[in-house]
């Protein structure tokens, strides 16, 4: 009888979210810690923590992201794994870019 394997749940790790420009202004801080396995989970946590800041919550849906210095681009945020001690950079859209 063969063993069945189910996909392992990704491990939650600790890191830092850094907010830039309008995101920093709306968040009211430059950075904060996260505990998450994926970018989607880290962003969901940020939205939950800042539920009292609806402009930031909306803005996070329009931002670009760098994870450990690499652009996320159009990848599904649920597929972007985070690393222990890593950094998520939140880059809001800006004019002239």
pLDDT tens-digit map of 52-67: 999 999 999 999 999 9
Q: What is the pLDDT of residues 21-58, one digit of tens each?
A: 999 999 999 999 999 999 999 999 999 999 999 999 99
Model confidence pTM above 0.75: yes
Q: With bands split at pLDDT 50, 70 and 90, how would you rate the model's confidence at 5?
A: very low
Q: Exposed/middle/buried for 13, CB within 10 Å: 0-12, 13-18, 19+? A: middle
């Amino acid at each position: 009888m063969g063993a069945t394997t189910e996909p392992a749940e990704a491990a939650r790790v600790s890191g830092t979210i850094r907010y830039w420009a309008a995101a920093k202004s709306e968040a009211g801080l430059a950075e904060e810690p996260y505990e998450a396995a994926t970018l989607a989970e880290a962003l969901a946590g940020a939205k939950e923590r800042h539920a009292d800041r609806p402009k930031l919550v909306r803005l996070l849906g329009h931002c670009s992201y760098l994870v450990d210095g690499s652009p996320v681009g159009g990848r599904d945020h649920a597929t972007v794994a985070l690393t222990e001690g890593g950094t998520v950079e939140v880059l809001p859209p800006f004019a002239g870019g």
